[in-house]
Structure 1
Amino acid sequence: MIRTILFDVDGVLLSEERYFDASALTVWELLHSKNYLGLESNQFKIVLNDEEITSIRNTVFQNDQVLKFFKSKGLNANWDMIYLTFSFQLIHLLEQVVGEEKENISKWLTSEIDRSVLLEIQESLAQYKATINYDEFISEFQNAKANSKEDLFDYLNVLVEQKFGIKTNLFSEKNHLWSVCEHVSQEWYVGDENVLSSTGRPSVQLGKKGFLSDEKTLAKPEHIGQLFQELTDAGLQIGIGTGRPDLETIKPFEYLNWLNYFDRNHIVTADEVLEAEKQHPSYAPLSKPNPYTFIQAEKGKQTPIASCLKIDLPLENGDQILVVGDSLADLLAARDMGSRFAAVLTGLSGKEARKEFEEHQAEFILDSVLDVKEIVLENVRKG
């Protein structure tokens, strides 16, 4: 009998649209702002309307085909998507000037790339007519035998060797460039007011309002609140296992009046995952599809990290846990735990995701998170 329900957030409770908007704006800024590569810098501005944001996203992510490609590979973190997209464009730009900048390119692609290095590259690119080409990403990466984040990161190194004859491991792991991507993304998503508390670093580019107060829910907020109420009234434990940072989970839950339904001890976010990786680096990466997020959410944050990492899988009580998610990464994490899984068709791919979930034999496939009530309460009645 199901006793615990663990919800993912993006694509289940809250729309991913604003995250994808922020991701596209981040890649766009890194390419166009004078704070970074500064290409066609007259195109860059801070205040944008929804139509302009949609246009940028359609360009950067090729009408979301790039995002769908990432999702098909089990990639669930927007920061990783940004890093891969921008790093590919960086390689593409440098390929156009390899004849003139071979020595510099060798230096840049074999050592850490931080913002100061990006400014060096900006200065060099300004001498030439290098152009951005967003539509090459899919065609290039279709050649990659990649089924994980690590494979995708490593393929950037493969491209460097193919295009420049340079052997490097620069792109294999989170690095200075990944951190630059993360910080710009946080500026767009949380806004000036929250950047310092979110990242520990001040804004590079001021003037961003952020999207925290403009979240889109995937059902009426009061109806989702009613779902939480009915589940807890039935004696079920509910928790959250999300790739969002704590700030971006708690703030929206507060203003949507959802937080009071949860024990904060069972809300696990990217912050807890990063802390676990920091304390136990040999276990990294721990983000989904690794089941750590959901294991910690089920056990509670009072449970030592080491205990969650060393727990035997599948869990002894796995059949009593229902994970509710929208992605292949959620399904794979649930499967490793030995838990049950409900897929909701409100993520990026919408109804088109049904086929993939059927192929992976998801136990439940739902049109909305609100449908969880029927399957779980029926389960409780049978129990």
Structure 2
Amino acid sequence: MSNVVVFDLDGVITSEEAYWITAGLVLHELAYSPRYWNLLGSESYVPPATAEECDEAGHEVLPRAVMLGFKARAINSNWDTCYAAVSLCLVDLLARIPDRSSLFPLQPWDADWIAAFRHALSQVEGDKHISLDSYRLLDEPLFQNYVGFELFERLNQYASELFGQQVEGVFARYSPFWMLCQELFQESYLGDQLYEQEHHHAPSQQGRYGCIYLEQSILPAETLRSTLQTLREQGYTLGVATGRPGREAIVPLQNYGLYEYFDAAHIMTHTEVAQAEEKLLARGDSTSLVKPHPYQFLAAANPDYQPHQAVPPRGSFIVIGDTTSDVRGGQAAGALVVAVLTGALTDEARRLLEESQPDFMIPDVTRVPELLQRLDDLATIQRMQFLEREKAEILLRRWFMRYMDLEVDEVKLTPRRSR
């Protein structure tokens, strides 16, 4: 495994802008379609029909800064960032309704409940647009220092305290409400034609543009091709660990001319993670294997790896990521983690990324070949032992694995400066 480099995609290889717009379109449709919340009392809903309209509508209800805040909080999957935004807005709208008693227990995925919610909202006076104040809820003390799926758990607790009614499991990954948002996300991302090809039935709403056509690489494709080619020439096997489902991960790589540089056996998408979770669940094990769980990184590095097997020593392979969940998951998997700053686009995101303590930080993936070449140099390890002895020991253990095919359980350096 010592010659394997596993890349996250979004924020590292691919841009997330198309996904962020998609998340906003899901919220826009839920808010303003008569099928759902219908905040403005419209008789019909016409989805944005052009790239410009998609961009405007998506960012109107879900600004880019909010999405960056979610990413900084290690909500890594774009399905989950979408769901976080929708959930916060739903809580805010519920808080505007004076008498909410008939809406409990909360069932925001159920058509009858949605109709009752829509009617209750129609009785509320004043502005009913999605308020950007909804997202400031995460500034409340209850949410401080919580990241990832912990935020959903805290949202259930917050809603219980706010409404004086028990709210349990409503805001949770894989809940019926999450599944509703995921379905709408896929419809908006793929557009009518691709969605029907992929799912073999028509989408719930016709006329969607398809944000997949807005996809872009994070850096010029030629630059990325050159970087990956250099890594291959250095003897590395390249893999992927991404929250994207299979086709959505592979098609952009093919479009950018990058897919050929990756080893198919080392590509782990959400599709494979979900399949592994299903197998566990059939045995009564409900463990979530999505990042920051180390499973996806381990399976990308070693295709024979199975959940709950022993983790290799630190430094056994390389992970290139851009979020705290990449750092936490990669290090838990025994990897040496290199964080790139192309996905940390705010001061908060960069601060949280630094606090997660990746092994190394670089501006973008173009610096990876030179960094790895330097880290595999014994002279570098010798210099590092004086200031970062633990990291130098990891690198030396990795050197033995990579160049001498020796698995060393422990390396101890005792730095002595020459006289």
TM-score by length of 1: 0.87
Distance 2:56 2:350 in 1: 28
Give yes or no for the alignment of 1:122 onto 2:111: no
CA contact (8 A) 1:24 1:60 kept: yes
Match for residue 248 of structure 1? 248
Deviation at 1:113, TM superposition (A): 2.4
d(CA) in 2 for partners of 1:41, 1:125: 10
Report which structure shows greater RCO (CA 8 Å, sep ≥6): 1
Asked if 1 retains the 8 angstrom alpha-carbon contact of 2:18 and 2:211, the reply is yes
Partner of 2:297 in structure 1? 294
For residue 83 of structure 1, what is the aligned residue in structure 2?
Answer: 83
Match of 1:187 in 2: 187
Map Cα deviations across residues 283-306 of structure 1 (whole Å, 9 max, x no partner). 532111111111111112xx2xxx
- Describe how 1:1-383 pairs up with structure 2 within 5 A: 3-40=3-40, 42=42, 44-61=45-62, 63-99=63-99, 101-103=100-102, 105-107=103-105, 109=106, 111=107, 113-129=109-125, 131-143=128-140, 144-145=142-143, 147-169=146-168, 170-196=170-196, 198=198, 202-281=202-281, 282-300=285-303, 303=304, 307-313=305-311, 315-316=312-313, 318-349=314-345, 353-380=349-376
- % of aligned pairs identical? 27
Alpha-carbon separation, structure 2, partners of 1:197 and 1:50: 21
Counterpart secondary structure, 1:288: coil
Distance 2:200 2:182 in 1: 12
**C-alpha contact 1:6 1:324 (8 A) present in aligned 2:** yes
TM-score, with structure 2 as normaliser? 0.80
Q: Distance in 1 between matches of 2:295 and 2:206?
A: 35
Displacement of 1:322 in angstroms is: 1.1
Match of 1:312, as an amino acid?
A: A
Contact (CA 8 Å) 2:109, 2:177: kept in 1 or not?
yes
Displacement after TM superposition at 1:201 (Å): 5.3
The SS at the match of 2:38 is coil
Aligned-pair CA distance for 1:246: 0.6
Which secondary structure does the structure 2 equivalent of 1:209 belong to?
A: coil
Deviation at 1:136, TM superposition (A): 2.5
| Distance change in 2, residues 1:351/1:93 (3 Å) | closer
> Could you give the per-residue CA deviations for residues 37-66 of structure 1, whole angstroms, max 9, x where no partner exists?
1222659532354554444344323x4332
More displaced stretch, 277-286 vs 17-26 = 277-286
> 2: CA distance between counterparts of 1:372 and 1:116?
53
The Cα shift of 1:274 comes to 1.2
1:116-142 per-position Cα deviation (integer Å, ceiling 9, x unaligned): 532442244334437245332343222
Cα-to-partner distance string for 1:53-92 (whole Å, 9 max, x where unaligned): 444344323x433223322321101212222221222232
Specify the code of the residue in structure 2 equivalent to 1:310: H
Q: Per the alignment, in what secondary structure is the counterpart of residue 309 of structure 1?
A: coil
What is the count of residue pairs matched by the alignment?
371
Relative distance call for 1:92 and 1:148 in structure 2 (3 A) is same
**CA deviation string 1:180-211 (max 9, x = no partner):** 10111111111222224555653111122313
